Amino acid sequence: MFKSIIAGVGHYVPENIVTNDDLSKLMTTNDEWITERTGIKERHYRKNRNDSEETTAFLGFKAAENALKNSNLTAKDLDFIVFATLSPDYFFPGCGVLIQEMLGCETIGALDVRNQCSGFVYAMSVANAYIKSGEYKNILVVGAEIHSFGLDFSDAGRSVSVIFGDGAGAVILTASNDENKQGILATNLHSEGKYAEELCNKFPGSKFGWSDRVLTEPNAVSADEIYPTMNGNFVFKHAVTRFPETIMEVLNSAGKTLEDLDMFIPHQANLRIAQFIQKKLNLPEEKVFNNIQKYGNTTAASIPLALSEAIEKGKIKRGDLVCLSAFGSGFTWGSILLEY
């Protein structure tokens, strides 16, 4: 059976940096309030909220270009694409086909994953299964988001809007039967749909009859239905429970322990969640990588962006045992354990 090896990684963020002080000019908030609750100091937004060129697919394309350079492969070498996002360019089609065109790939398959904060973990698990089965050899896995166009920058939306940023990360997974390389060792995926509306964006959605309400008066759609909503304390309590469970599950599946781990990269949802998990699992600071301080929560992009930056900074080297874990809307959660 083939093993899934990371051949290359890459990331990309828009140049426009938005600080907490910048947000304080749009809503009643300040740097101290945001930092205390989230750990975030700044995030990246595309320059124009209505930019038709710097889209989610474009950010993914730029991250994919960097991953391909890092892997010494070309777009023509790719067999398949898995694209994770909650903010696609269009409601349909998905971003996978758009990046296939941008990269100039052959007419390969492209699959979109809509699992929000857990999207990249789900996407990697799907790609890993394809490679292990022998179906594909080189798969591009992308996580990318443009959040800035769809946030409520009024006081009503500040508790959610200060958290999110734009960005993208990409990984090239390749098949290998090299006995000296382990690649992805174990994965697990979970969901609990009864909590779907604790963290969601209701529109557009067939459940709520949005087309009739948008197109006819006076049935106007309300702001709390258009913008993301989150029961923050509820999400936090579930996240700090599920994270340790999925981490221990993936370690046990591979016959590994926390002591074997070289680096833990959590989904960058909230620095306080990551710190809580670090303390609960008694992980030393040098074994946990966080960059939410600079980028905010980029949902499906957060793990590949952090993985790419950690490798770029020399925090992760070949042969290191790395755990990637996520929890988010759905609720969904899961982990991947791999030898880089």
For this structure, is 297 an active site residue? yes
Give catalytic status of residue 323 as yes or no: no
Catalytic entry in 95, 105, 117, 323: 117
Is the link from the previous residue into 218 a cis peptide, with omega within 30 of 0? yes
HEC readout, 124-151: HHHHHHHHHHCCCCEEEEEEEECCHHHC
Catalytic residue of the set 66, 188, 267, 323: 267
| CA 83/CA 113 separation, integer angstroms | 6
Q: What is the DSSP string of 158-172?
A: HHHHTTB--EEEEEE
Buried b / exposed e along 166-200 (16+ C-beta atoms within 10 A): bbbbbbbbbbbeeeeebbbbbbbbbeeeebeebbb
Which of 217, 296, 213, 322 lies closest to 23 in space, CA to CA?
Answer: 296
CA–CA distances in Å: residue 36 to residues 178, 274, 319: 47, 14, 36
Identify any residues that bridge with 8 across adjacent strands, giving them in sequence order. Answer: 172
Gap between the Cα atoms of 6 and 311, Å rounded = 12
How far does CA 266 lie from the centroid of its chain? 10
Active-site residue, selected from the candidate residues 44, 291, 297, 323: 297
Decide if 282 is catalytic: no
- Residues annotated as part of the active site: 117, 267, 297
